[in-house]
Structure 1
């Protein structure tokens, strides 16, 4: 297949970027080393809320666009894996609510009865909650329906992709550390526990600032995701039993039924954190134009559609524009 664009990376960032391009009549191939189910995206809890991502102001713009796209997808939850679920964000330290707080429909201060013991303030909202087990296959089907092609292929270099297409989009996440290379990309390890649902129908999160230990409870169709950790620089993907026990204890203080809930699964993922998301154009040595779209930290799902639109615009503009306001698809 001849291609206009090769997207390197098959997680949520790569797939959404490829979809926007393919649905804009671009001939797109995605090179992915791993099946989508083996990417960091598959481990994510799936809540649409900005977390551990910079620059903050631009992240809000990307997040709000993604919020609206995901809300539309929530109209068909069985197909897309996206539902609108109410919940409470109890710890917002280190984050200026700003436009996010003003723009999310129905977001308000949490009432006392919505906050577990030990939490004095927070915000309540109905937001998209994404089941990544269903959502990633949906994205792959949507890409195929738009004419895009997904290939299981390892990119030795970005210039290798540039020899096969005029445009390359680098959505390799943590892999960009070696592929670019970019030493500013580093892992923030997150460990989760999945348990049977004892009757929880709302999400709860307390994960402010740069804390290494967080608390979040995310009800999914297959169980409840309990978290978590945010350990910068940790590369280990092996679940730690002591950490898992501590996660369950923290979450059980918020919902007592979780203390006895049967454990279904342990997960560990590495968030691809960077001091600032890299969403910009670079000319590769061979002449192809490369749009970098990586470094989204713990907010890959939250900003996925907003960043995809901006990356696609840079492709359509041929690199002549450095950035445009997110919203609407390039034509």
Structure 2
């Protein structure tokens, strides 16, 4: 096929990386064992916020770059799946946030009337909320418009890709555990419940669970297809079968913030495995550029990581002539 680079993986990290590379003039092929809409990325909520991702300083920069890109895409929500939505992070205080927060437009302390009962502090912001199936379709269409291709192919090793192109970008997420192999990669199970939206217009996140590393977290995300309720964050759990008891617990927690949720009709149950690592791996190793280990912050850092990966690729890949 004459590829300059093969991207392995078609989740949000893989497709975003492929789009950036193709739009910079490289001949890009994406190899994936499953369609983009069947990847873990498609299950995500998905609100922009640097959630449990390290290294903190670099991740903050990747996230801010992604925020700029996503805000631009939000001008065409029907096409891109990205909307700018107001919401509250309960349990956070401005002075407790990392330096990146100072550069988020409009991020401010929530007033007492803006915080549900039971929470002493909170912050308010208008942030990108992404309909992931729609966004993944947008990225795939954009890749095709730039001349990139998607091939369904299951790999047993990265060597199969390095034999087909001068440079490979490894965006295999949880698959990197076996393909690299990298034993530091592990799943963090997340279960969600999608219900009919009883009129909720804003997103809501209880920050305490995420900050303290609890297995149970609380978030409410209004999406075009329904209200997404969450959730769980269970490290090293591989099971992708929804638990009815967990679903009821999720609904009960979210009902404390929005009582109408308790009576809403359930539309779907979802379980995804976040591809976590102690730190994101974003570096070149021979002719392979690794870009994986984003955990639950994949969409949040996708564009920043993709642009950094592209810089590493351009140092290795020949330019197309003519």
Task: Please tell me the TM-score bracket, short chain as reference.
Answer: over 0.9
Alpha-carbon spacing, 1:96–1:4, altered in 2? closer, same or farther (3 Å): farther
Do residues 296 (structure 1) and 294 (structure 2) align? yes
Match of 1:324 in 2: none
Distance 1:104 1:308 in 2: 20
Distance 1:195 1:119 in 2: 24
Distance 2:96 2:54 in 1: 12
Consecutive unaligned residues of structure 2, counting only runs of 5 or more, are 318-322
Consecutive unaligned residues of structure 1, counting only runs of 5 or more, are 284-288, 320-331
Distance 2:57 2:96 in 1: 9
Distance 2:144 2:260 in 1: 42
8 Å Cα contact 2:195-2:267 kept in structure 1: yes
Match of 2:320 in 1: none
**Alpha-carbon deviation of 1:98?**
2.6
TM-score where L is the length of structure 1: 0.93
Distance 1:36 1:96 in 2: 36
Moved over 4 A (4+): none
**Alpha-carbon deviation of 1:40?**
0.4
Match of 1:64 in 2: 64
Q: How does 1:243-322 map to 2 (within 5 A)?
A: 243-283=246-286, 289-318=287-316
Distance 1:116 1:266 in 2: 26
Match of 2:225 in 1: 222
Distance 1:83 1:37 in 2: 19
8 Å Cα contact 2:91-2:120 kept in structure 1: no
**Alpha-carbon deviation of 1:111?**
1.1
Q: Give the paired residue count.
A: 313
Match of 2:241 in 1: 238
Distance 2:96 2:172 in 1: 29
**Alpha-carbon deviation of 1:91?**
3.1
Q: CA RMSD in A?
A: 1.2
TM-score where L is the length of structure 2: 0.95
Distance 1:57 1:121 in 2: 24
Q: Secondary structure at the match of 1:254?
A: coil
Distance 2:252 2:126 in 1: 26
